[in-house]
Amino acid sequence: MSKTLITGAEALMRSLEHQGVKTLFGYPGGSIMPVFDALYDHRDTLNHILVRHEQGAAHAAQGFARVSGEVGVCLVTSGPGATNTITGIADAMIDSTPIVVIAGQVGTSFLGTDAFQEVDLVGITQPIAKWSYQIRRAEDVPWAVARAFYIAKSGRPGPVVLDFAKNAQVEKAEYVPTKIDFVRSYVPVPEIDEEAIRQAADLINGAERPLVLVGQGVELGNAQEELKAFIEKAELPAGRTLLGLSALPSDHPLNKGMLGMHGNLGPNINTNKCDVLIAVGMRFDDRVTGNLATYAKQAKIIHFDIDPAEINKNVKVDLAVLGNCKETLAAVTALLKPAKHTEWIESFRTYEEIEQEKVINLELKPGHEELTMGEVARAVSEAANNEAILVTDVGQNQMLSARYFKYTKNRSIVTSGGLGTMGFGLPAAIGATFGRPDRTVCVFMGDGGLQMNLQEFGTIMEQKAPVKMVLLNNNYLGNVRQWQAMFFNRRYSFTPMLNPDYMKIASAYEIPSRRVFNREELQEAIKEMLTTDGPFLLEACVEQEGNVMPMTPPGGSVNQMLLEC
């Protein structure tokens, strides 16, 4: 009996379907053309979203992955098509986002000849991806795809790159559906150490001033309920990192706010007062720790993490609890003694009152006519019943929307944390609408970040993607301007922005829009945005020199937060 042979391009289509892929984001070109030709016959099962720039494809795949918990996929050509995804790959790596980037490559006979649109994609991406592999033979396609998806989504998630040589796309081989759940020398989830579990419980049971730091690992491990059981049993106050904000509802009584440079006073200051610091699924990023020389030196530190490489990387800890936090938190919770830490928890109230008076009231109820970014964010959140997914770009819009949005559901914040990628917000929001079409997706952007990937308005127009876009326009590169004001004697070097008429641009792309200048118009405009079917752009013209406060100055300690500029 003769074997049925198919092209490598067709094998890729079938392999993606075998992995459960239904949506992918991409842009065609010469070296990936056989794959796009094969895709033509799979349009009923594989929904390809044509973006307007390959960076947009990578960020859209990230947004899709972050809200859905699935692997995001993008498909691009060789050379500049592939290199345009590099920022998204690096962003996904540092923020632990599972995506698979499939890029065309010149045929193997041309490798190393500087052929048209040839770049060493494997060499470029190895430092910024979990795995990079070049497919040179059609028969290797099912294996490579299966391995790519397993590596991307297992353990600590991350990006994988498949560099697909053109000859392998057109050659024929037998297709064998492949599943991989083991890779030699790769241990995605460390074995739980029962002694570490016991020691962690002992330390927490003996604590008088415990503090939990909640990171994105709780979301990635689907451990939100285990986290709540953990903190509630022993009455453990918790602060959340930027990427971990929706791992714990905003209104949970033990939620004490956001950690980090622009976080809340209470969890930051009490980091240097607690006696046991419990980090769960976070990596002690420098924006959270501030000056390491003064960070939590008084505390015993317990670190729950799935990645052994994070242990003692930045902060030396007293105890590591390795494993998926869904399992390790439950194991420690079983050994915890019910406890009350009334006086310690009450200590957060003092800082909350100070921050409310000195910062929050000024942001939400300013004594001037100009809109603030924070009041716009809070108004949008409340109008959406605090149930929307928040996507942000990077800068002041990111920090203020993250601070003043409220979170009631899991996987409700998508932002570029570790890399801080301007231009991330718009394509990531497009991806999020495909990852969770049942939820409202609101993206907050500054005038600088929006213009970095403004071309994705075309994707929104074609797909009618229901992205609710909020442009916080202050005619500045606001975050850089704030630093110039605070640390460079107000020398505003190349931060003022001459902006286009965004209403006209939105109109050209058939996107409904509205511009507001004052709070009397704000509620009605937000209602119009949220009730309009499909996309909408709301441009809020905010105060030009507003600042994000509180702030830990660069190199400062977490307990030395500034309350005013």
Q: Average pLDDT, stretch 368-381? A: 96
**pLDDT score for 367:** 84
Length in residues, the chain = 565
Question: How confident is the model over 155-199, as pLDDT tens digits?
Answer: 999 999 999 999 999 999 999 999 999 999 999 999 999 999 999
**pLDDT score for 532:** 98
What crossing angle do the helices spanning 54-68 and 86-94 adopt, rounded to 10°? 30
Q: Average pLDDT, stretch 112-130? A: 97
- Band of the pLDDT at 153, cuts 50, 70, 90? very high
Among 407, 436, 435, 428, CA closest to 63: 428
d(Cα 565, Cα 549) in Å, to the nearest integer?
Answer: 8
**pLDDT score for 552:** 96
Q: Average pLDDT, stretch 548-558? A: 95
DSSP H stretches of helix in 390-497: 396-404, 425-435, 447-452, 457-463, 478-487
Q: Average pLDDT, stretch 499-526? A: 97
Question: How confident is the model over 490-506, as pLDDT tens digits?
Answer: 999 999 999 999 999 99
- Band of the pLDDT at 387, cuts 50, 70, 90? very high
- Rg value, the chain, Cα: 24
Q: What six digits make up the tokens of 542?
A: 């905010």
- Band of the pLDDT at 2, cuts 50, 70, 90? low
Q: Average pLDDT, stretch 257-261? A: 97
DSSP state of 496: B
Q: Can you give the pTM of this predicted structure?
A: 0.97
Kindly report the backbone phi and psi dihedral angles of residue 507, in degrees, each rounded to the nearest multiple of 5, phi listed first: -60, -40
d(Cα 330, Cα 335) in Å, to the nearest integer?
Answer: 9
Contacts for 18 with CB less than 8 Å, ≥ 6 apart: 142, 145, 146, 177, 178, 179
Contacts for 433 with CB less than 8 Å, ≥ 6 apart: 441, 465, 466, 467
DSSP 3-state assignment of 538? strand
Contacts for 83 with CB less than 8 Å, ≥ 6 apart: 119, 121, 124
Question: How confident is the model over 302-361, as pLDDT tens digits?
Answer: 999 999 999 999 999 999 999 999 999 999 999 999 999 999 999 999 999 999 999 999
**pLDDT score for 323:** 98
Q: Percent of the chain scored above 70 by pLDDT?
A: 100
Question: How confident is the model over 48-85, as pLDDT tens digits?
Answer: 999 999 999 999 999 999 999 999 999 999 999 999 99
Residue 1 has pLDDT above 70, yes or no: no
Among 416, 220, 403, CA closest to 304: 220
Contact 426, 400 (CB under 8 A): no
Residue 3 has pLDDT above 80, yes or no: no
Q: Which residue in this structure is represented by tokens 């939990």?
A: 212
Question: How confident is the model over 351-373, as pLDDT tens digits?
Answer: 999 999 999 999 999 988 899 99
Q: What is the mean pLDDT of the chain?
A: 97
Q: Average pLDDT, stretch 11-35? A: 98
Contact 514, 527 (CB under 8 A): no
**pLDDT score for 445:** 98
